[in-house]
């Protein structure tokens, strides 16, 4: 029983530290390096732990996340998204004077806007070109377009061309490792072929960035990939735990039983505002015979088999989210637990920073 008001985000510190160490060990002996994705944890406190373990920088998804990381003293940041609105570009050029931020770009129009804004601000902006490697999201589709855009960036005095990124998000959850490797390598090969074409065109490429948690040891081993953007490995969630990647479950939502209306039903104080379910319902930890069957806004409904029917009002239950990244963003605080005892709390500092 934790003396923590619920619903609360619990981190098993031993498990999280093991995950950081396992990932650091993998990259210690490789050419490719880790630039973990902070969209998962949204916390400079945790980003610094990853950097101290050997990460070469941090990836983030949004400008406002980058602001929080930079305010937390982190300098090397890849903003792995397009920043297009003029007011956001102004904020980005401001950040460029306080960090070594790199921004992703996938169009000439956006590159022109970035160049003009950087010039007006007297800043120099590092730019990475995003390449679509099969996910079908952002990113240029053809090598010719990448070369044209790279030439434009190279020729812009206020921009600095740093390289390319291509996230193989359509591969990261393939359960069978051999199949995941085959698909992941196709995407990595596509990205490295683009790099080769750039070099042939006389354009130097420093960074070739790819990979998520499901493909860290595929992209990390692929010749030519220089950095990997995995994020979820830090905590894991039930969707990634199915992949048997060797990382431990380090994140749960602590909930309290607030009602026992029938012998086979217990109602928890954690609903959709405390834990997300877009990839499936959360899993109940260490309570044989208990299954979460439903989340509404503020309630979770447990179905109890006879062996779990001793559960009482005010008992606590831990739930593993199916998606850690979106669950974390619902909370203000992490509660760090070691061997069952609360050790430290820290804020989800970039919570709600999706701008
Ligand atoms: C651009 C990008 N890079 C990397 C990742 C990897 O994240 P994860 O470690 O959660 O697979 C994601 C996940 O959505 C992403 O969008």
What confidence tens digit (pLDDT) does each residue in 309-349 have? 999 999 999 999 999 999 999 999 999 999 999 999 999 99
Q: Left if phi > 0, otherwise alpha if psi is -120 to 50, otherwise beta: which for 73?
A: left
Which protein residue has the closest C-alpha to ligand 1 atom 10?
A: 232
Contact (Cβ atoms closer than 8 angstroms) between residue 78 and residue 59: yes
- Backbone phi, then psi, for 300, in 5-degree steps? -120, 135
How many whole angstroms separate alpha carbon 168 and alpha carbon 306? 45
Query: Distance, CA 169 to ligand 1 centroid (Å)?
Result: 7
Number of other CB atoms surrounding residue 339 within 10 Å: 8
Query: Distance, CA 210 to ligand 1 centroid (Å)?
Result: 9
Closest CA to 251 of 229, 230, 220, 276: 276
Q: What is the DSSP string of 38-94?
A: TTTT--HHHHHHHHHTT---EEESSHHHHHHHHHTT---EEEEEE--SHHHHHHHHH
How many whole angstroms separate alpha carbon 137 and alpha carbon 116? 26
Query: Which residues of the chain fall below pLDDT 70?
Result: none
Strand partners, 227: 33, 209
How many whole angstroms separate alpha carbon 189 and alpha carbon 129? 16
How many whole angstroms separate alpha carbon 11 and alpha carbon 195? 39
Contact (Cβ atoms closer than 8 angstroms) between residue 47 and residue 65: no
Quick one: which atom of ligand 1 is closest to the CA of 213? 9
Query: How many angstroms separate the most distant Cα atoms in the chain?
Result: 72
CA-based end-to-end distance of the chain: 37
Of all helices (H) and strands (E), which one includes residue 144? helix 143-154
Which protein residue has the closest C-alpha to ligand 1 atom 14?
A: 169
Contact residues of ligand 1, CB 6 A cut-off: 37, 40, 80, 167, 169, 172, 212-214, 229-232
Tokens 């085959």 sit on residue? 182
Cα distances (Å, whole numbers) of residue 336 to 33, 149, 234: 27, 45, 13
Tokens 């209306």 sit on residue? 261
Residue of 229, 236, 328 with the most ligand 1 atoms within 8 Å of its CB, for mutation: 229
Contact (Cβ atoms closer than 8 angstroms) between residue 50 and residue 292: no
Residue of 187, 212, 235, 325 with the most ligand 1 atoms within 8 Å of its CB, for mutation: 212
Q: What is the pTM of this model?
A: 0.97
Q: Left if phi > 0, otherwise alpha if psi is -120 to 50, otherwise beta: which for 271?
A: beta
Q: Radius of gyration (Cα) for the chain, nearest Å?
A: 22
- Backbone phi, then psi, for 159, in 5-degree steps? -115, 150
Report helix, strand and coil shares of the chain as percent, to nearest 5: 35, 25, 40
Residue 1 pLDDT: 85
Domains of the chain: 31-235 (3.20.20.10), 251-347 (2.40.37.20)
């Amino acid at each position: 029983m934790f003396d923590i008001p619920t619903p609360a985000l619990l981190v098993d510190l031993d498990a999280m530290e093991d995950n950081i160490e396992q990932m650091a060990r993998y990259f210690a002996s490789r050419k490719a390096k880790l630039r973990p994705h902070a969209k998962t944890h949204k916390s400079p406190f945790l980003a610094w732990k990853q950097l101290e373990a050997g990460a070469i920088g941090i990836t983030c998804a949004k400008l406002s996340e980058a602001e929080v990381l930079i305010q937390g003293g982190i300098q090397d940041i890849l903003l792995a998204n397009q920043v297009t609105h003029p007011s956001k570009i102004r904020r980005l050029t401001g950040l460029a004077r306080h960090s070594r931020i790199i921004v992703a770009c996938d169009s000439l129009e956006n590159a022109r806007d970035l160049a003009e804004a950087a010039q007006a601000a007297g800043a120099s902006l590092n730019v990475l070109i995003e390449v679509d490697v099969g996910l079908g999201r952002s990113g240029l589709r053809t090598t010719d377009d990448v070369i044209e855009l790279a030439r434009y960036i190279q020729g812009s005095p206020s921009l600095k061309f740093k390289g390319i990124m291509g996230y193989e998000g359509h591969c990261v959850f393939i359960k069978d490792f051999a199949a995941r490797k085959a698909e992941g390598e196709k995407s990595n090969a596509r990205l490295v072929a683009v790099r080769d074409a750039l070099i042939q065109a006389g354009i130097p490429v420093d960074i070739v960035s790819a990979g998520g948690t499901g493909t860290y040891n595929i992209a990390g081993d692929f010749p030519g990939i220089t950095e990997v953007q995995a994020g979820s490995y830090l905590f894991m969630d039930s969707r990634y735990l199915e992949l048997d990647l060797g990382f431990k479950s380090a994140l749960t939502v602590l909930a309290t039983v607030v009602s026992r209306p029938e012998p086979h039903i217990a109602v928890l104080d954690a609903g959709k505002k405390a834990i997300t379910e877009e990839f499936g319902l959360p899993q109940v930890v260490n309570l044989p015979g208990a299954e979460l069957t439903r989340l509404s806004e503020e309630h979770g409904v447990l179905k109890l088999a006879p062996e779990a029917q001793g559960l009482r009002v005010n008992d606590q239950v831990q739930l593993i989210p199916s998606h850690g990244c979106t669950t974390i963003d619902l909370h203000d605080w992490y509660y760090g637990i070691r061997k069952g005892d609360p050790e430290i709390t820290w804020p989800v500092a970039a919570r709600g920073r999706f701008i």
